[in-house]
Amino acid sequence: MSGGEVAGILVAVFWAILVSFLAVALARLAQTLRATTKLVADVTDQAVPLLADASAAVRSAQTQIDRVDAIASDVQEVTSNASALSTTVASTFGGPLVKVAAFGYGVRRALGGRKEDVPAKTPRRTVILGRTVPAARRKRK
């Protein structure tokens, strides 16, 4: 064998080994791509129902928020109506009721407080630091 033949055989063996390594690497890459494709398909199969459920939950939450908003506006309207009603009742009945109560108090005081044979008492006054304090205010303390 001559030196050229040996060199040709070495180059052929080198190329065979290189092609073998490349074939193994491509086979592994193909397996990895198949596994990745299967994983993406599985994720897609699981993600689509999850996204549909999430979308339904968001729609349901929006519906509930709309209901709460409607209830809050109704409560606000009822509150303003109640406030207007209480103002109307107070202005309609408040003044006359106070007058009737004052009149009743005055009548009771006039009829029950005095006897013909007993003279009326003059209220006592107390002087504090140069000021006169009526008896009614002293009793509150």
Q: Say how many domains are in the chain.
A: 1
pLDDT in tens, 1-35: 677 888 889 999 999 999 999 999 999 999 999 99
d(CA 63, CA 47): 24
The answer to whether residue 136 sits within a structural domain is: no
Whose CA is closest to 135, among 122, 109, 120, 125? 125
pLDDT in tens, 76-134: 999 999 999 888 888 887 788 888 888 888 888 888 865 555 556 666 666 566 555 56
The answer to whether residue 30 sits within a structural domain is: yes
d(CA 73, CA 60): 20
The answer to whether residue 131 sits within a structural domain is: no
Owning domain of residue 65: 9-111
The answer to whether residue 140 sits within a structural domain is: no
Q: What is the pTM of this model?
A: 0.41
